[in-house]
Amino acid sequence: MLFMVEMIVQIPQSLDADLVAKIKLEEKEYSQKLQREGKWRHLWRVVGEYANVSIFDAASNDELHTMLSSLPLFPYMQIKVTPLANHPSSIVQE
């Protein structure tokens, strides 16, 4: 199942800079692992914001929830999930 996931990151300015750097490094490693596994299909930055729009491929809502809630930045994110379906006019069917 494909999902469009919109993420807005809001790290408190009061958070220790070294801790933020550590969390960001862990986030990068985990997100790239999911990309290599084919679970995180697309990742786009939203220009001018600390935000992204992504396409995830998960077997279920529960699998997607587990992936998202395992993101190191998850406690600092606003997340919107939209399930996707094939469009009848698309020449590519997933």
Give the CATH number of the domain where residue 57 resides.
Answer: 3.30.70.1060
Whether pTM > 0.85 for this model: the answer is: yes
Q: Judge whether 72 lies within some domain.
A: yes
Q: CA 75 from chain center: how many Å?
A: 13
The pLDDT assigned to 19 comes to: 97
Q: Which residues of the chain have pLDDT under 50?
A: none
pLDDT given at position 92? 81
The count of domains in the chain is 1
Within-domain flag for 91: no
Domain extent at residue 33 = 2-84
- What confidence score (pLDDT) does residue 93 get? 74
Report if residue 47 sits inside a domain.
yes
Classify residue 90: in a domain, yes or no: no
Residue 6 lies in a domain: yes
Helix-strand-coil split of the chain, %, nearest 5: 35, 30, 35
